[in-house]
Amino acid sequence: MENHDIPTRPEETLDGTVVFNVPFPKDLKDLAGMAPVIVKQPYHIDYIHSYGQDSPFFAGLANRRLLGSRCTACGHTFGTPRMSCMACGGDCEWVELPQEGRVHTFTVCHFGSEEFLPECPYVLALVEFEGVDTLFLTRLLGVDPARPSLDWIGMKVRAKFRRLSRFKPTDVWFVPA
């Protein structure tokens, strides 16, 4: 019993892949020296992940609060939160960080990840807070990356938060205070 409605080949469409450099030798003996075929194609994936123990940090950003952590044993305070103390190995608890600090150092980035490509060049800064033992890495907006200045070192800065949180580290940045 034959069924002629069952497809025997995939449907042909007008969409396709852009392909570059597709040489093919006339003599099959020359295939070993053939250049690689290079294919450009779009790629999309929905990546689902958990922030796990860092979830409170991102919930804080969504609520315009900057969170760090403090060791319950030695009192070491971290600008970038962690659940175990790097100084003594003790457990840490969540603490709210000040939303004002000072630029400890900075760099101008002329290249960046996909998230930052539209902003290149941009300024990354390490911010120091009163009473916090480590620094906080963040973008520094409101300064001209084309005219970096050592005067920015020690400059007072304050946190700004994205109005509609994306639950990403880019939900917070700093500007001159």
Per the structure, the complete domain to which residue 92 belongs is given by 52-176
Residue 151 domain flag: yes
Residue 16 domain flag: no
The 77-78 sheet, strands edge to edge: 77-78, 67-71, 92-96
pLDDT digits 0-9 by tens, 93-129: 999 999 999 999 999 999 988 888 888 999 999 999 9
Residue 144 domain flag: yes
Q: How many domains does the chain fold into?
A: 1
What's the CA gap between 154 and 127, in Å, rounded?
Answer: 9
The pTM of the full predicted model, rounded to 2 decimals, is 0.74
What's the CA gap between 3 and 110, in Å, rounded?
Answer: 61
Residue 121 domain flag: yes
Banded model confidence at residue 133, pLDDT cuts 50, 70, 90 = very high
Judge whether 102 and 88 are in contact, CB under 8 Å. Answer: no
Radius of gyration over every alpha carbon of the chain, rounded to an integer in angstroms: 26
Query: Does the pLDDT value for residue 16 go beyond 80?
Result: no
**Residue 160, C-beta contacts closer than 8 angstroms, at least 6 positions apart:** 141, 172, 173, 174, 175
**Residue 103, C-beta contacts closer than 8 angstroms, at least 6 positions apart:** 125, 126, 127, 128, 140, 152, 153, 154, 155, 157
pLDDT digits 0-9 by tens, 28-68: 888 888 777 777 777 889 989 899 999 999 999 999 999 99
